[in-house]
Amino acid sequence: MKRKSPMPSPHVCAFCKMDLVPALIRPKSVLGIISEFPGPVEVLTGKPFSGPAGGILRAELIRVGIDVDTCTITNVWMHPIVKACKGHDWHLACCLRAVKHCKIILLLGSTACESILDQSVLDVSGLRLTSRFLKDVPIYSAPNPAALFYGPVGELRLAFEKLSKAKELRNGKEKSRKH
């Protein structure tokens, strides 16, 4: 999928030549959000979670007191998944570099959970976990917000409620209030 833009993208996958949607890195963010791959709107805009699923993510995080505009956001795959692309490890490494400064991670969807935790999102949704990739960083997981187009909101809300109570987020909010 190509961006509808007069300017060529400086971000192209070295493995399959698809346009990349780079991470949205906020250096002072406490929360890093890692999803699966960008959707069609994200590919066109070049920004993660700028489409309909981004609207759901924003609304559900606000509901539990988290402003998505303070988060670093990236995907395991920086373009839609295609079988021809053999760059999974490269994409994953870029994703992990994007969130290396974050104190807590939220994984969204099955691809993110399987790539980083080696577990299904349905098995670990809402649990506090760790990963061999992100040592000493607490990780929470939830279904991808796009899943709400096809099913109920309950599992996502439960996971976000548990995330919102994480001490790393509370400490980050306390520090930002003091400044």
The domain ranges of the chain are: 31-178
Whether the predicted pLDDT of 179 surpasses 50: no
Does the domain spanning 31-178 belong to CATH 3.40.470.10? yes
- The span from the CA of 54 to the CA of 44, in Å, is 14
- The pTM (predicted TM-score) of the whole model is 0.86
pLDDT at 149 over 50: yes
Range list of H helices, the chain: 40-45, 52-63, 88-98, 110-117, 121-124, 154-164, 167-178
Which two tokens mark 101? Answer: 């400064």
Q: How far apart are CA 63 and CA 65, in angstroms?
A: 6
Percent of the chain with pLDDT strictly greater than 90? 69
Q: In this structure, which amino acid lies at residue 3? A: R
Whole-number Å distance between alpha carbons of 14 and 73: 22
Q: Are 108 and 36 in contact (CB under 8 A)?
A: yes
Least confident of 43-57, 107-121, 123-137, 152-166: 152-166
Cβ contact 137:103 at 8 Å: yes
Whole-angstrom distance, CA of residue 123 vs CA of residue 129: 12
**pLDDT, position 163:** 92
- Under 8 Å between Cβ of 165 and 128: no
- Read off the pLDDT of residues 29-80 as tens digits, 9 standing for 90 and up: 999 999 999 999 999 999 999 999 999 999 999 999 999 999 999 999 999 9
Q: What angle do CA 140, 89, 51 make, to 5 degrees?
A: 55
User: Tokens at residue 106, please?
Assistant: 């939220």
Question: Which 3 state secondary structure label does DSSP give 160?
Answer: helix
What is the structure's pLDDT at 59?
A: 93
Show the tokens assigned to 108: 């969204």
